[in-house]
Amino acid sequence: MVATTSNVEVSTNNSGGGKLLRWRQRVGYWLYETGRFTANLLIQTYLMIYMTDTARLSVAAVGTLFLVCKIIDAVTDYLAGLLIDRTNSRFGKSRPWAFLGVILVTVGLLTVFNIPSDWASNSQLVYAYVTYCVFSLGLTFLNIPEFTILPTLSDDPEERTVLATCRQLAGNVINFFGTTVFASLLVFFIGKGLQGYAQVAQLVAVFVVVCIVVSLLLLKEIYVDNVSADNDEEEQPKHNLLKASVLILKNRRFWLFGLMAAFISFAFMMTLMCGAYYFKNVMDNPVMQGTAMMCLSGAQFIGMFLTPMLGKKYSKRVLIMVGIIMGELGYFGLYLAQPALVLVSYFIIGFGFSIAFTMYFALMPELFDYLEYEIGHPVSGITSSLTQYLVKVGETLNNVAIAWVLVIGQYDASLEVQKAVTKLAIRLNISLIPGIIGLLGLLCVFFLDLEKLYPTVRAALNKRQGKVETENVQK
């Protein structure tokens, strides 16, 4: 039974739509991640070095800023999940909040790289806090819907893997071209006598708006379980979401999945965040960062195309573990800091984490289904918000670790050549620390058994949803 309203199709069967609809979903999902990833890449790659080297905020203050803003995210992430789970609109559950997210992200991009140079340092820091928090709030309302909308696009595990691959493709394309384009634009605008960062952020903001808005017009939420199949005015059951949150937080498999996501995000994002410092001060070749990122992204392309084929032969769990192990080999090469080996290491890291992230994302709907099976009603919004908060904690600790290791290593942005101890600190930031955290992620994946349980879970949910459909028909 399917009832269609605007861009929402409420389904209780496994039809999945025709070929045209499947490709519409894939293109829409690809565009969504293209916009979201571009905004986040600019922030992750350049915001810290902009604040320390251009705005001249202290490294310790910037690290504390990232930590405080992510503590605030603890509230906003959970709020976003609650809002999505309680939303039943003609525009869907996830899409309305994504529209809010793109507005806030745009405001954040246009302001966060515009710290007034003539303000007092304390006023500059307050400005940085406000603008970065606005961006972070917007990113929350883009991140959470991206996860919660995936199970509504298809209930076929293989099609979900294809959609996750489309998402990974978007990230790979932006990774491949983004850093090089950003660097080229910075050089161009600085050559014109402009600040550079602000102008690049303005162009990125326009690109992000176009991608996200078009994607939300394309996507259709098909499998929205808690919307009445007849789309009438009758009151829907009100679930105790606070109680559901407690049950989720008591669930061992949720923690294994969430911590795995946090650890691998920490490890991979440290490669991006430390790159500008590493190539400028350790490799003495800032331009090499663009080449290294092209190696990383090129490897991600290869991994992305191989992942669907590998997914038919091996479990998601095994592929995530293999991807993390490859990343560990790459981090060892980065510590040695030899030019050719660095490029090879970036390639290995890109290939490994491409597989790991694609499979982690494809595994998330199975976590949603498992928790729905355990708790008794859909909790994808809350589950996504809690998982994403753990990921953000990982990324925040990443930022804080970078900042404080640089402080301990006596980093001084005014020096042309950094001290030997500073260079060592930067090498540890980009190799040893993410390597250790990656091993913790590997340990979590080893004990994760969602795929083993999935046939039982899916059969039970199908039986439960079939019963609901029968009751709706009788009404």
At residue 57's C-alpha, the angle toward residues 189 and 389, to 5°, is: 95
Does domain 240-463 fall under CATH 1.20.1250.20? My reply is yes
Query: How does residue 192 score in pLDDT terms, banded at 50, 70 and 90?
Result: low
pLDDT digits (tens, 9 = 90+) for 61-119: 888 888 888 788 778 877 888 888 787 877 888 889 999 999 999 999 999 999 998 89
pLDDT at residue number 261: 93
- Residues 41-52 pLDDT 10s: 888 888 888 898
Among 75-79, 130-134, 186-190, 373-377, name the one with the lowest average pLDDT: 186-190
- pLDDT mean across residues, the chain: 84
- Tell me how far apart the alpha carbons of residues 207 and 106 are, in angstroms, rounded to a whole number: 10
Give me the amino acid identity at 447.
F
Residue owning tokens 């059951």 = 237
Indicate left, alpha or beta for 193 from its phi (over 0: left) and psi (-120 to 50: alpha). left
Q: Closest Cα to residue 351, out of 289, 302, 290?
A: 302
Taking residues 456-461, report their average pLDDT: 90
pLDDT level of residue 207 (50, 70, 90 thresholds): very high
pLDDT at 226: 44
Whether the Cβ atoms of residue 303 and residue 153 lie closer than 8 Å to each other: no
| pLDDT given for residue 224 in this prediction | 59
CA atoms of 294 and 105, how far apart (whole Å)? 26
Ordered by start, the domain boundaries in the chain are 20-222, 240-463
Q: With 50 as the cut, is the pLDDT of residue 211 above it?
A: yes
The yes-or-no verdict on residue 237 having pLDDT over 60 is no
Percent of the chain topping pLDDT 70? 88
> Given pLDDT bands bounded at 50, 70 and 90, which one contains residue 212?
very high
Q: What is the mean pLDDT of residues 21-42?
A: 89
* Residue 235 scores a pLDDT above 50: no
- Give the mean model confidence (pLDDT) for residues 394-404: 81
Domains 20-222 and 240-463 fall in the same CATH topology? yes
Closest C-alpha to 226, from 472, 22, 453, 7: 472
pLDDT value at 385 more than 70: yes
User: Token pair 């095994």 is at which residue?
Assistant: 318
Least-confidence region, from 154-168, 286-300, 425-439: 154-168
Burial of 283-293, coded b for 16+ CB within 10 Å and e otherwise, reads beeeebbbbbb
Q: What is the pLDDT of residue 232?
A: 42
Give residue-wise pLDDT tens across range 306-354: 888 888 899 999 999 999 999 999 999 999 999 999 999 999 999 999 9
Per-range mean pLDDT, top range of 87-91, 295-299, 392-396 = 295-299
pLDDT greater than 60 at residue 397: yes
Whether 204 has a pLDDT exceeding 50, the answer reads yes
- Least confident range of 271-275, 368-372, 406-410: 271-275
SS3 content of the chain, % helix, strand, coil (to 5): 80, 0, 20
Superfamily of structural domain 20-222: MFS general substrate transporter like domains (1.20.1250.20)
* Average pLDDT for 430-452: 94
* Confidence check: pLDDT of 234 > 70: no
Q: Among 419, 377, 429, 375, which Cα is nearest to 49's?
A: 429
Is 406 or 321 the better-scoring residue by pLDDT? 321
Query: What pLDDT, on the 0 to 100 scale, is given for residue 349?
Result: 96
Count of beta carbons in the 10 Å neighbourhood of residue 315: 15
Q: Look at residue 11 in the predicted model and tell me its pLDDT.
A: 46
Distance CA 220, CA 92 (A): 8
Among the ranges 120-134, 211-225, 240-254, 270-284, which has the highest mean pLDDT value? 120-134
Residue 239 has pLDDT above 80, yes or no: no
Q: For residues 302 and 355, what is the distance between their CA atoms, to the nearest angstrom?
A: 10
